[in-house]
Structure 1
Amino acid sequence: MDWRGFAQQMASMARDLLAEQTLDATLGQITSSAVELVDGCDASGILVLRRGRVSSVAPTEQLVTDSDRLQESLREGPCFDAARPEISERVFRIPDFTEDPERWTSFVPRCRELGVGSMMGFLLYTREEELGALNMYSRKPGAFTEDSETAGWLLASHAAVAFSSALSDSQLQEALATRHTIGEAMGILMGRHHITEDQAFEILRTQSQRTNTKLREVARRVCETGAVDQ
């Protein structure tokens, strides 16, 4: 492993991640960097576990999505475990899918049928958050070495910081957009019905509760139609 060259590539990746403008672009940069920088990696993706449900984020190939779905249906697998906060391990590796597995005995033979030869899973984390797992796949058995695992862990550690930062920015942008939409809807209701700001907000809130619809969606409909749906 050319660690000097790897360090230079990691520095370049870090600059690229900082330059990304959206959460999707950041996550796509993370998974494409895994394929580019980690020896043996043919495909990569991020598995996010929320409330027991799995989402495949920024997969570089369909193979990644198929593996994530398989892990969810079986409730086992290295990346599934890496994303669970109650599991103490943070790095998982299945060196050879052609060998009889000692762990994940249901997942390994099924994943082998997808064409996977070896894989690794890394927890994506910052000091305060556990966000999910970075998956790396190879079609060749035994493709991932100790150096590959070290490189993957270093990449995942850097990626988690960028992931957390991009997620915070995305949430802030969404919050600002929601605030703007609600404010615009309140202005429409105030002008049409000659009511106060508090009364306009109460109309939106009541409609949201009555229809079990998010407040932002109720506001968006008011902005589009000029009235609250009946």
Structure 2
Amino acid sequence: MAPTPPETPSVAPRPEGRVAGLLLAAGGGRRLGGRPKALLDLGGRPLVEHAARALRDGGCTPVHIVLGAAAATVRERAALSAYRVSENPDWAQGMGSSLRVGLAALNASEADAVVVSLVDQPGIGAAAVARLLAAYAAGADLAAASYAGRRGHPVLFGAGRWADIAATAEGDRGARAYLRDHAGELTLVECSDVAEPYDIDTPEDLPRLAPGAGPTDGRGGTVRGHGE
């Protein structure tokens, strides 16, 4: 028998708000031999383009990207003019530092919430992002995609939570501590039918970037990049 998914908190619909996207793309790919994840190839284009497009096509505006390792090269090789880009000089300290940089950049925006995604999860596309935006429209201000009932990415944070999240974001934990401490307020949004939450962490994962792989479009196909 399949496990019963956890109950999601009841929420009230909210007026339409502006939900930004935040892509954390600063990692240096230590377990990939020092190959920055943003520059990994997917369909002939840098992986950062595909991840940013998933946020945009899922309904996020504006989309912010945090770069770190090889930031100058990423800017040179990737088509990022449609997005707002920040650099994290402390990227080697872990994901938490990039999350803090991204949330600080968002403080100057008019966004009411943000969807945060990771550059090394190409199996998560616009369909999963759109589901989180629908959860926000339904009243959730703390939500996460789930896969067979298990919390994953992307995640959504209402603007009122950003300061507390930034204060607890350390090392490679990102917002993990905040999500754990506020589990009772978290809305889980099932996405296993439209996305796959695998990471590209080691050389053994690289075949997942082969032709035909990539973010799902929610209709059984994959999202194609420029020139595909």
TM-score by length of structure 2 reads: 0.30
More helix by share: 1
Q: Name which structure has the greater RCO, CA cutoff 8 Å, separation 6+.
A: 2
Q: Which has the larger share of strand?
A: 2
Q: Bigger radius of gyration, 1 or 2?
A: 1
TM-score (norm 1): 0.30
